[in-house]
Structure 1
């Protein structure tokens, strides 16, 4: 039998995996359960594992598998879904180069083109010849897709953390409120950033999702939309 907190955490993990294709971070779990520290989440995860509801897979960079669900969450007919971390156990999470990905034969792959700023703008994206495996739902529909590694925390309140990999559908247009890859000139340097898009008359606002960062307002003809966010992959 699960405690209320254990049940709440299991339901939260299950919902996020079904919605996003990736489990939530420990910070997101802590916030969702209104706990003061991540140590409480560690204890709940351990309890769920001991009771056979989840499994942390060895040599998979803390991959998380939901093994079963109680009837309260709709456990009938449940099939486990595994979300693998993408770093080897001995990888350095602070390294500066984009991480190579393991491509599974059954998973679609998109090119990982480098890093994108979620903070101040960075120079234009470099073409890095790597591929990254993604859940099929992220690349469903028409259009080309690519992936970028996020640098910075300006989109943290939109659930995008430093080190996440975002999956982008190529395109030149966006609706207000969508998160986009936007290119523009910043002090005579061609720069690229990940921000929320707002058109305001003849101007475009590139909004951060962090109050520590100001909204950047530019003439619309100086902003080039290069694609919009369709998915996110997080490692642990």
Structure 2
């Protein structure tokens, strides 16, 4: 079997590594502009040329109809799956009610799902949620997909998070942003047709961050 270094240029290896690290950190693919900035590339056309080469060789798939349409092809991790608890559904659209916050306790789950080893690595408290809705479609998360979550109580701005809205007793999947002015949080969909949710920071309880996605194949 040929090594990666036998088939890819140094720049292409750097781009592939950047994509892998970006997905691992944020749970979503980078945009072409992210790749240009992160890999010190001169233009988006140069990045696109190298992405086409990675796609031809089977390292990635590209979905040109959405803004972050880069999907890693990882045969090794898919061959060595890990079982994690499936904790029910999460709304990627309008928030949907869930019975109570005990829903998020992985020990309560009777269902499981197999995920690539790369989604787990050395992370603790990893679980899965089935997505309902299309508000995160531009982040390659569609209705019926399964998101892989790490149970955490805080996330950085821009990360995708499962959020519990205390007053409404509802859960939603959105990108999380702390507003610079006031004690507000913006929960931002990845769908240009949908508006963000603004709420008091005290009303928000982060339940986990997205670390991977298993796409439903139609």
* Pairwise TM-score range, normalised by the shorter structure: 0.5 to 0.7
Q: C-alpha distance in 2, partners of 1:208/1:12? A: 31
Shift of residue 233, structure 1, vs aligned partner: 0.4
Q: What SS does structure 1 have at the residue aligned with 2:58?
A: helix
Shift of residue 13, structure 1, vs aligned partner: 8.1
- Aligned partners of 1:145 and 1:169 also within 8 Å: yes
Q: C-alpha distance in 1, partners of 2:207/2:53? A: 37
Q: Which residue of 2 aligns with 1:163?
A: 144
Q: C-alpha distance in 1, partners of 2:210/2:90? A: 12
Shift of residue 81, structure 1, vs aligned partner: 2.5
Q: Which residue of 1 aligns with 2:84?
A: 110
Map 1:16-27 → 2, pairs under 5 A: 16=60
What count of residue pairs does the alignment treat as equivalent?
153
Cα–Cα, structure 1 residues 189 and 13, in superposed 2: closer, same or farther, change >3 Å? farther
* Residue ranges of structure 1 left out of the alignment (5+ in a row): 1-7, 17-22, 33-65, 67-79, 85-103
List, as ranges, runs of 4+ consecutive aligned residues in structure 1 with deviation greater than 4 Å.
29-32, 125-128
The answer to which structure, 1 or 2, has the higher relative contact order (CA under 8 A, 6+ apart) is 2
- Aligned partners of 1:205 and 1:215 also within 8 Å: yes
- Aligned partners of 1:9 and 1:29 also within 8 Å: no
Q: Which residue of 2 aligns with 1:81?
A: 75
- Aligned partners of 2:164 and 2:207 also within 8 Å: yes
Which has more radius of gyration? 1
Q: TM-score, normalised by structure 2?
A: 0.62
Q: What RMSD over aligned residues (CA atoms) do the two structures have, in Å?
A: 2.9
The counterpart of 2:171, out of the listed 192, 205, 219, is: 192
Cα–Cα, structure 1 residues 124 and 156, in superposed 2: closer, same or farther, change >3 Å? same
Q: TM-score, normalised by structure 1?
A: 0.57
**Cα distance per residue 1:156-182 (max 9 Å; x no partner):** 111111111000000000000000000
**Cα distance per residue 1:63-122 (max 9 Å; x no partner):** xxx9xxxxxxxxxxxxx92898xxxxxxxxxxxxxxxxxxx9x52111001111000001
- Aligned partners of 1:116 and 1:151 also within 8 Å: yes
- Aligned partners of 1:12 and 1:29 also within 8 Å: no
